[in-house]
Homo-oligomer: A and B are copies of this chain.
């Protein structure tokens, strides 16, 4: 009823995951739904987190790595040294991501050239005329 929160089923439909998955993520401290009696109520914060979790998974991060990343997003009021450490970790992660992107670019290029070769093979099979 509260437009701010969602039931477990609403979450599942919205994000295409199973209840088991949401409970599992809670047990691993990736989500923190509040309770109304027995029932879980997922907040806006949980939805934002889940979105990041699913994205992280698509890049091959483990749930534990994702959990650590999520901490960066909800820093809170910590001490300065803690914040500096957090910032360091964040920069490392960012470098991680940018290295991945560079590799991904390479992979895409290689794949495109591979496909060019396949195109050529097809052309030589159907057409017969070679480009050289």
The residue in A94, A101, A103, A111 that gathers the most chain B C-beta atoms within 10 A of its C-beta is: A111
Interface residues of A in 3-57 (CB under 8 A from B): 55, 57
- Bound Cα distance A104, B105 (Å): 11
Question: Beyond A60-B59, A83-B125, A121-B75, is A114–B100 a contact (Cβ under 8 Å)?
Answer: no
Distance from A120 Cβ to chain B, minimum over Cβ atoms (Å): 11
Residues on the B chain within 8 Å of A111, using CB: 72, 90, 93-94, 97
Q: Contact residues of A with B, CB < 8 Å?
A: 55, 57-61, 72-73, 75, 80, 83-84, 86-87, 90-91, 93-94, 97-98, 100-101, 103-105, 107-108, 111-112, 114-115, 118-119, 121-122, 125-126
